[in-house]
Structure 1
């Protein structure tokens, strides 16, 4: 019968006779050298896989507050901005390329630099076709004003946003719109504590949040295609509106739905924070 004990004894003796290896300075440790030095004379299953692979350092996360202007957070290349100041009936607008570096009291970063704040006072300057002021982006396609139809292609807006202030007497503000050449087609609008998708010139609406609390961020996705508008709120479908048309475009920001004639102070603000914004158009 073979002697099974002898190989074990040899292996144990080999381990017991391993000479101590002086510990090198921590900064100069070489794993490949240590493997060989720790077991002289022992049959290793194979040479160590040296040199060891270099593990790249992870890229540090973007520091909070690293943005210095709204254009650092949002892709503003295909938008222009209407402000609540300027000549009566013809408020100031910020076009390209100035918008990319623009900031003001009406369009600025949150204190922590993670969102873009749109502010419009109840007593602000209005466009000639509205009684209410706005700090609001209007969709462009390069140097041309965007104009599309939901009877062809798929037109999508995705945004993370929060409504943070409303006037006290008439606490209403619109945060996102589809507009056409003459009027709004659909609005995401807060009325008191009820967030709605409103359409048909305000005659119809679908409640998407019955108890919205000011300052609560929500994820909004609107898809306009096949002659309808579908609204997703925090990942769930909340509205499907049978509506079709042409010359449509997106609007995003604070469109305050009150004024001093309604009893609100001229300085009462509608305020919306936009954390992310993306639009996409595909041809049908």
Structure 2
């Protein structure tokens, strides 16, 4: 009986090891698979909310904390296929906010663990947004997409905006204020940074200062993701197959 019991024990151990090995080969370890479920596993979204190109006219879907910590929606806001970053997609026929004719899949800076909207002064303290992203796709007709921006209480102050193959830093209504890079190829990852202090915005591209913009306004906040600057009136087809898309690989805010 002891020999039979020992044989059964050995057989069970061998079978268990074989199953475990098969799972590792086919699916990877549980630790490797889990971080691909939600964008908040790739980016620290504690003090952000996301606005999506879905919902009802003039009232797009917004997801805040704590729901945002375990939220994803295909294909608008999800971990990308490589499990390295977060995919933001906004189609030309997406739902828009009441103040814009363009749709977005975009994060908006919050504070107090995502419970209140951020609104900081450009003349008090130092406020920094560092991001690493790649533009993946542009809409037809008007191939313009914003990947990151500073907004105040009224409008965007400055943005990183891809127009065709030209990457610009904008200033207010001047969409061509500073040409950062020409010949940009889709899927090329770059690092950008805004540093705001003393009434000035310093904008960096891959570590190099690109421009210094004077700005003293209050109620400022950062935004990042895909803001597609095209709609059914200037881009065809008018469908979800026509969109702007950004992959975000790093997103870090500091205030001091």
TM-score range relative to shorter protein: 0.7 to 0.9
| Residue in structure 1 matching 2:245, options 267, 271, 280 | 271
Does the CA contact (< 8 Å) of 2:42 and 2:86 recur in 1?
yes
Q: 1:252 Cα deviation (Å)?
A: 0.4
Does the CA contact (< 8 Å) of 1:65 and 1:113 recur in 2?
no
Q: Normalised by the size of structure 1, how large is the TM-score?
A: 0.75
Select the structure that is richer in strand: 2
Counterpart of 1:94 in structure 2 is 63
Q: Normalised by the size of structure 2, how large is the TM-score?
A: 0.83
Q: 1:264 Cα deviation (Å)?
A: 2.6
Per-residue CA distance 1:212-261 (angstroms, 9 max, x = gap)? 11110001111011111111111111121122211000000000000010
In the alignment, the residues of structure 2 paired with residue 172 and residue 241 of structure 1 have an alpha-carbon distance, to the nearest angstrom, of 22
Secondary structure of 2:247's counterpart equals: strand
Higher relative contact order (CA 8 A, sep 6+): 2
The alignment covers a number of residue pairs equal to 222
Q: 1:265 Cα deviation (Å)?
A: 1.9
Per-residue CA distance 1:260-280 (angstroms, 9 max, x = gap)? 100332221100000111000
Cα 1:188–1:258, aligned 2, differ >3 Å: closer, same or farther? same
Counterpart of 1:145 in structure 2 is 117
Cα 1:274–1:214, aligned 2, differ >3 Å: closer, same or farther? same
Unaligned runs of 5+ in 2: 1-30
In the alignment, the residues of structure 2 paired with residue 64 and residue 215 of structure 1 have an alpha-carbon distance, to the nearest angstrom, of 24
Higher Cα Rg, which structure: 1
Secondary structure of 2:69's counterpart equals: helix
Q: 1:118 Cα deviation (Å)?
A: 0.3
Cα 1:97–1:65, aligned 2, differ >3 Å: closer, same or farther? closer
